[in-house]
Chain A
């Protein structure tokens, strides 16, 4: 079935270091979304990528969608303790309106 793999599963970084999480699909996606879930909270929408090769920035966060629309990445520059949480990608395929979530990357930032 359709699935989205996400790596790494966990990442511990020192405050101020950069962080990247990657999502991969074996088949071409229609679009991909990114979410952040704080411990004990619910997923909060961050961004949606639709176009091949698309790059979007939100302050210290940079989101990329691969040329083949099979992979995506989220890069955080100079992490802060407020970045702690689990980052999920969610992919959608053509012909369906549902999203399948990736396995998530749990980020811990050490002060």
Chain B
């Protein structure tokens, strides 16, 4: 089945530093990837839609200068949390849509295992 990986799985950083999280589709190509944020025991909040070769589309209230998204290839999207602060501590999850399935009836999102960010 379709596999999405995320790296790193956990990261602890100091306040003010930047952290990059990678999302890779391992066995399929993804023109569209999504970045979510999940607080403990809460739902997934869509942050932005990452489009290969173009600028990401951010949800209302998400600072694009704070959360930089780059989707440089059909298998890789990166989320960089710039100048991280303790309130940015959260579980970040990416998902990817199979390029082939985009043209089919099935429209499944394949989720990565998530990255737990802790900002001290």
Residues of chain A at the chain B interface (Cβ within 8 Å): 1, 31, 33, 35, 41-45, 48, 50, 88, 90, 92, 97-104, 106
**A88 and B43: CB pair below 8 A?**
yes
Roughly how many angstroms separate A104 CA and B45 CA in the complex, as a whole number? 12
* A42-B93 in contact given A48-B107, A106-B41 (Cβ < 8 Å): yes
**A98 and B44: CB pair below 8 A?**
no
**B49 touches A (CB below 8 Å):** yes
**B78 touches A (CB below 8 Å):** no
Roughly how many angstroms separate A45 CA and B109 CA in the complex, as a whole number? 7
**B114 nearest CB neighbor, chain A only:** A42
Roughly how many angstroms separate A1 CA and B106 CA in the complex, as a whole number? 26
* A101-B34 in contact given A33-B109, A45-B110, A48-B108 (Cβ < 8 Å): no
Q: Chain B residues near A92: list those with CB within 8 A.
A: 107
**B68 touches A (CB below 8 Å):** no
Size of interface on B: residues with Cβ below 8 Å to A: 24
Q: Chain B residues near A43: list those with CB within 8 A.
A: 44, 93, 95, 111
**A31 and B107: CB pair below 8 A?**
yes
Roughly how many angstroms separate A42 CA and B106 CA in the complex, as a whole number? 20
* A98-B106 in contact given A44-B111, A88-B43, A88-B44 (Cβ < 8 Å): no
**A104 and B108: CB pair below 8 A?**
no
Interface residues of B in 78-120 (CB under 8 A from A): 93, 95, 97, 105-114
